Amino acid sequence: MKQFAALVSILGTSTKTNDKLEALSNYFSTANDADKVWVIALFSGRRPKRVVNASLLQQWCIELTQLPVWLFEESYHTVGDLAETIALLLPQTTGNDGNDAQPLHTYLTQLVKLEKETETVKKEYIVTCWMQMTKDERFVFNKLLTGGFRVGVSQKTIVNALAQAVQLPAAVIAHRISGNWDPSTTAFQSLLSEEHASLDSSKPYPFYLAYPLEANPQTLGEPAEWQAEWKWDGIRGQLIKRNNELFVWSRGEELMTDKFPEYNDLNTLLPDGTVLDGEIIPGIDGQPLPFALLQTRIGRKNVTRKQLQEAPINFFAYDLLEYNHEDWRPKSLTERRQQLEQVVNGAQHPALLLSTIVPFDTWEQLAATRRQARDHFAEGLMLKRKSSSYQVGRKVGDWWKWKIDPFTIDAVMIYAQKGHGRRSNLYTDYTFAVRDGDKLVSFTKAYSGLTDKEFNEVDAFVKRHAIEKFGPVRTVKPELVFEIAFEGIVASNRHKSGVALRFPRISRWRKDKKPDEINTLDDLKQMLRLYGTAGGEQT
Amino acid sequence: MLIEFTDKGLYCSAGNFYIDPWKPVDKAVITHAHSDHARWGHKAYLSHYLTVPLLQARLGPQQYQGIGWNEPVYMNGVKVSLHPAGHIIGSSQVRVEYQGEVWVVSGDYKTENDGISGAFEPVPCNTFITESTFGLPIYTWQPQPVIFEQVREWVQRNGKARQNSVFIAYSLGKAQRLLKALEPLQQPVYVHGAVWNMHQALVSAGIDLPPVQRITPETPKETFQSAIIIAPPSADGSPWMKKFTPYEVGVCSGWMQVRGNMRRRNADAAFALSDHADWPGLLSAVKATGAQQVYVTHGFQSAFSRYLNEQGIWSAEVKTEYGGEEETEENTVTEDNTTGGAA
Ligand SMILES: [Zn+2]
Ligand SMILES: [Zn+2]
């Protein structure tokens, strides 16, 4: 556990990708095999089920430390992370210095067993573990318990580190560790072996991801070398038909087959050994619908008939990764596209559609088309080099996403709250309001988007101009104006303003504007009428 | 109230003097030389004699009076004495006694003896005015020897990888403690001008500190090979650091107890080494004074005073303009940079 805690500590604090890579590759070369399998699982999103909920952990920590509840909460608010708060609050132990008595996998195996045990048994095990651990070990242990295990490394870095340690090409590793496998029953050797990979017919290919296009598209060269498509606002997914079974994977490496019964018939309609890459998106008669409708579907365990009618899900296919059991990724996009069109047309299923190609002759012409993206419920355009193969992960050069500019609105800050995690000592979480006659109506929170220097400035303003306290929230003098950018707007009866925004963030500080120059509630309602949806209750 | 809380600072009207005032006054008793406690513009300064040279280095020639610990002076019949606070060299608590009533102002303090600042002395009193910089139970420090060991291990690891070790530490307090931590390595220690100034002031006042080498614009880059460098927070990430490439940055601060802060500082390593009392330290200090009432200043004052009240010790929070040692230090360092190399 010590070795793992040290690894997590480096990954969590190091700012250099190379250091992270080195730490991981070092870990994969020295740790025991059972631990390695778990680390791959944890770092690729295969967490064990949550054994206890956060409030129980909090309760046990309070019992052990005899702190008042409010003081625990105050501490939690300052630290910004429950696992870390508990690790810091528990009485210090001398720690079992140097001897890594319990390796990572023994804890994880215990935790899997513990799942079905009573609360008393769980508590006894967890408290005993706590009292034998150092601060860093407690932190990762708590992270495992609460299931909130996230590390600051990309899948790509993990794949590269493994590739370095076991001397295999990164693409092979990426493929083998994806898909459906259970860390408690899989051995390290078999996870990385060829037989295992072919046995598991549900395995998706690693997704090829596009970089945002920031430069002028002219820099990409000849328009004729490029294919343009709409950039859909759905869930990126792979549709897999192998061994007469159909699988639907999301980019988040989640198997979602059961969530979309619309696709069921494709199992008989698609040829065996086919893998399609595309967008999972609600649509009727080939026309996409707003993303908000998809969210009503994925949150639920069982899909109702009503949902199937109101938000039918389509698959907008844009690439063919496997055909006739053969890996087509090395072929050119043009070649893959031709075959893709045949596959989709051959299946003749209303839920399976081709993501249309947007024709263009000049970049100016395409720029004009891009401005209409919102009318198509698209976020912009995708530009793909016609000669490109299908690569692994995010690579610069052949695939670009050319998003439309976000919506913006000028608003005044009215509440501030301290941030979490790395900004836990600064007021960095703000609530904003627009004007409604002579009143101010709050309509959104927004977090990121300012530089550290600006955060410090706003923080100082909040400390000097706080009017009222409600717990951690400060009401501040409405004076600072910010431009808020967002990707979409829906009607909401849970917000005073009647609207909810998608991905709101601070785009810049409008020091040039006074609070009486901000936008109004009518401006927001106007945007809702033009681009919004009657989303209603969903969040 | 023997000591009142005014907009100029803590004021004793019976003795007609202020303690660590933040606006210019006639008579100021100064707990220690950090710039948020020792400000410019007072007519007369009274402090521990080891604080005087530091004040001179920071504020230039003024009317200073230095006294030792436990050597009372009388002002208008009010008995005033200083007692070790253990925060930095010269740092003192101020004990004020008048007509049988005793108040103690802690200034900044730490209860662990760091071997250079003098051991914190609990002073019995009726009313205690305490700082609360780290007044939450998440702040419980590891003992100094453990952190010092981590510091040395880090330097040695960097040395093996042929990297320089750059410590980010306050020029007054943390820098001197680091020197003690690094002494067993018997390697030269290179310092930023701000650290150098404080070091000079302390050495000329007769304090025994390991030697340091000042880094100037003329210092050749080749000097720094698996070397140790100490720089103030304002130098972190500035072009001044270029010379040390390849290097790793280690931040020394109590705030590094929390991972989020460590990430925010972009540090390669972090050492939760503080010159302030941790939570158990604050509690033990308060209890050791036996005070019936406790006023809590800069830090987590609302949490700490609420906790004391719940423990049956009457307490209230007091708004002061202390805190922010880091920002104020940055100003002095910028000045140092502009005159850089002249000295
Ligand atoms: Zn201080
Ligand atoms: Zn202070």
In this structure, the answer to whether residues A76 and A106 fall within a common structural domain is yes
DSSP 8-state code for residue B241: G
Per the domain annotation, does B168 fall within a domain? yes
For residue A536, the model assigns a pLDDT of 34
pTM of the model: 0.69
For residue B334, the model assigns a pLDDT of 33
For residue B332, the model assigns a pLDDT of 38
For residue B286, the model assigns a pLDDT of 98
For residue A277, the model assigns a pLDDT of 97
Quick check: A134 contacting B, CB < 8 Å? no
For residue A115, the model assigns a pLDDT of 85
Per the domain annotation, does A98 fall within a domain? yes
CATH, residue A245: 3.30.470.30
For residue B233, the model assigns a pLDDT of 87
ipTM: 0.92
Per the domain annotation, does B334 fall within a domain? no
pLDDT at A285 over 90: no
Per the domain annotation, does A184 fall within a domain? no
In this structure, the answer to whether residues A373 and A345 fall within a common structural domain is yes
Quick check: B266 contacting A, CB < 8 Å? yes
List, as ranges, residues 302-321 from B with C-beta within 8 Å of A: 303, 306-307, 310
Quick check: A88 contacting B, CB < 8 Å? yes
Give the pLDDT mean for A160-187: 81
Per the domain annotation, does A309 fall within a domain? yes
Instruction: Indicate the SS3 state at residue A531.
Output: helix
In this structure, the answer to whether residues B209 and B242 fall within a common structural domain is yes
Domain span at A337? 208-403
Query: Which residues of B fall within a CB distance of 8 Å from A148?
Result: none
Give the pLDDT mean for A228-248: 90
Query: Which residues of A fall within a CB distance of 8 Å from B142?
Result: 92
Of the listed ranges A178-192, A288-302, A525-539, the least confidently predicted one is A525-539
Quick check: A391 contacting B, CB < 8 Å? no
For residue B311, the model assigns a pLDDT of 95
Of the listed ranges A2-11, A45-54, A335-344, B58-67, the least confidently predicted one is A45-54
Distance (Å) from the alpha carbon of B183 to chain A's nearest alpha carbon: 25
Closest CA to B175 of B154, B202, B157, B135: B202
Q: How does residue B111 score in pLDDT terms, banded at 50, 70 and 90?
A: very high
pLDDT per position as a tens digit, A493-505? 777 788 888 888 8
Q: Which of A50-59, A211-220, A413-422, B303-312 has the highest mean pLDDT?
A: B303-312
- Which chain residues have CB less than 5 Å from ligand 1, an ion? B 34, 108
Query: Which residues of B fall within a CB distance of 8 Å from A421?
Result: 259-260, 263
DSSP 8-state code for residue A203: P
Q: How does residue A340 score in pLDDT terms, banded at 50, 70 and 90?
A: very high
For residue A96, the model assigns a pLDDT of 52
pLDDT per position as a tens digit, A447-478? 777 888 888 889 889 888 878 776 677 889 99
Distance (Å) from the alpha carbon of B211 to chain A's nearest alpha carbon: 32
In this structure, the answer to whether residues A444 and A501 fall within a common structural domain is yes
pLDDT at B335 over 90: no
Q: How does residue B191 score in pLDDT terms, banded at 50, 70 and 90?
A: very high
CATH, residue B179: 3.40.50.10710
In this structure, the answer to whether residues A284 and A398 fall within a common structural domain is yes
In this structure, the answer to whether residues A231 and A380 fall within a common structural domain is yes
For residue A253, the model assigns a pLDDT of 64
Residues paired with A211 in a beta bridge: A400
Summary mean pLDDT of chain A: 85
In this structure, the answer to whether residues A377 and A469 fall within a common structural domain is no
- When CB atoms are compared, the residue of B261, B266, B307 closest to A15 is B266
Give the pLDDT mean for A36-61: 87
Distance (Å) from the alpha carbon of A60 to chain B's nearest alpha carbon: 16
Per the domain annotation, does A17 fall within a domain? yes
Rounded to 5°, the CA angle B128-B129-B132 comes to 120
Per the domain annotation, does B329 fall within a domain? no
Per the domain annotation, does A282 fall within a domain? yes
- When CB atoms are compared, the residue of A68, A74, A84 closest to B259 is A84
Summary mean pLDDT of chain B: 91
Higher pLDDT, A218 or A199: A218
In this structure, the answer to whether residues A379 and A418 fall within a common structural domain is no
pLDDT at A97 over 90: no
Per the domain annotation, does A203 fall within a domain? no
Token reading at A60: 């046990």
pLDDT at B337 over 50: no
Distance (Å) from the alpha carbon of A163 to chain B's nearest alpha carbon: 24
Q: How does residue B45 score in pLDDT terms, banded at 50, 70 and 90?
A: very high
Sign of the Cα torsion A209, A211, A213, A215 reads negative
Q: How do B101-105 and B127-132 pair as beta strands?
A: parallel
Packing angle between helix A54-65 and helix A82-89, nearest 10 degrees?
A: 20
Q: Are B35 and B121 in contact (CB under 8 A)?
A: no
Looking at A131, A146, A161, the residue that finishes a domain is A146
In this structure, the answer to whether residues B93 and B65 fall within a common structural domain is yes
Looking at A336, A370, A403, the residue that finishes a domain is A403
For residue A305, the model assigns a pLDDT of 80
pLDDT per position as a tens digit, A378-422? 889 999 999 999 998 888 889 999 988 778 899 999 999 877 655
Kindly write down the DSSP assignment for every residue of A231-283, as one continuous string.
Answer: EESSEEEEEEEETTEEEEEETTS-B-GGG-GGGTTHHHHSPSSEEEEEEEEEE
In this structure, the answer to whether residues A358 and A420 fall within a common structural domain is no
pLDDT per position as a tens digit, B245-292? 999 999 999 999 998 787 777 788 999 999 999 999 999 999 999 999
Total domain count for chain B?
2
Give the pLDDT mean for A245-252: 84
Looking at A378, A403, A428, the residue that finishes a domain is A403
Chain A and chain B share a number of CB contacts under 8 A equal to 70
Distance (Å) from the alpha carbon of B101 to chain A's nearest alpha carbon: 33
pLDDT per position as a tens digit, A74-94? 999 888 889 999 999 999 876
Residue from B138, B150, B257, B322 to probe the interface with A (highest A Cβ count within 10 Å): B138
Per the domain annotation, does A177 fall within a domain? no
Total domain count for chain A?
3
In the reported structure, the alpha carbon of residue B113 is separated from the centroid of ligand 2 by a whole-number distance in angstroms of: 18
In this structure, the answer to whether residues A238 and A347 fall within a common structural domain is yes
In the reported structure, the alpha carbon of residue B141 is separated from the centroid of ligand 1 by a whole-number distance in angstroms of: 17
Q: Do the chains contact at B136 and A75, CB–CB below 8 Å?
A: yes
CATH, residue A440: 2.40.50.140
In this structure, the answer to whether residues A294 and A411 fall within a common structural domain is no
Higher pLDDT, A297 or B137: B137
Residue from B136, B301, B304 to probe the interface with A (highest A Cβ count within 10 Å): B136
In the reported structure, the alpha carbon of residue B131 is separated from the centroid of ligand 1 by a whole-number distance in angstroms of: 10
Per the domain annotation, does A32 fall within a domain? yes
Give the pLDDT mean for B317-335: 57
Residue whose structure tokens are 């690439």: A319
- When CB atoms are compared, the residue of B140, B258, B268 closest to A92 is B140
Instruction: Indicate the SS3 state at residue A412.
Output: strand
pLDDT at B51 over 90: yes
Domain span at B254? 144-271
In this structure, the answer to whether residues B120 and B17 fall within a common structural domain is yes
Pure H helices in B89-160: 144-160
Closest CA to B207 of B232, B182, B173: B173
For residue A280, the model assigns a pLDDT of 92
For residue A384, the model assigns a pLDDT of 96
Using a pLDDT cut of 90, give the percent of chain B over it: 84
Q: Do the chains contact at A15 and B300, CB–CB below 8 Å?
A: no
Per the domain annotation, does B332 fall within a domain? no
Query: Which residues of A fall within a CB distance of 8 Å from B263?
Result: 12-13, 15, 421-422
Q: How does residue B324 score in pLDDT terms, banded at 50, 70 and 90?
A: low
Quick check: B213 contacting A, CB < 8 Å? no
Query: Which residues of A fall within a CB distance of 8 Å from B266?
Result: 15
Of the listed ranges A176-185, A397-406, B67-76, the least confidently predicted one is A176-185
Instruction: Indicate the SS3 state at residue B93.
Output: strand
Token reading at B321: 């303009």
Per the domain annotation, does B41 fall within a domain? yes
Of the listed ranges A150-154, A370-374, B170-174, the least confidently predicted one is A150-154
Residue from A78, A451, A463 to probe the interface with B (highest B Cβ count within 10 Å): A78
Q: Do the chains contact at B260 and A74, CB–CB below 8 Å?
A: no
In this structure, the answer to whether residues A20 and A129 fall within a common structural domain is yes
In this structure, the answer to whether residues A379 and A436 fall within a common structural domain is no
In the reported structure, the alpha carbon of residue B51 is separated from the centroid of ligand 2 by a whole-number distance in angstroms of: 15
Q: How does residue A531 score in pLDDT terms, banded at 50, 70 and 90?
A: confident
Kindly write down the DSSP assignment for every residue of A125-194, as one continuous string.
Answer: HHHHHHHHS-HHHHHHHHHHHHT----S--HHHHHHHHHHHHT--HHHHHHHHSSS--TTT--HHHHTSH
Distance (Å, rounded) from C-alpha A527 to C-alpha A529?
A: 5
pLDDT at A167 over 90: no
Per the domain annotation, does B46 fall within a domain? yes
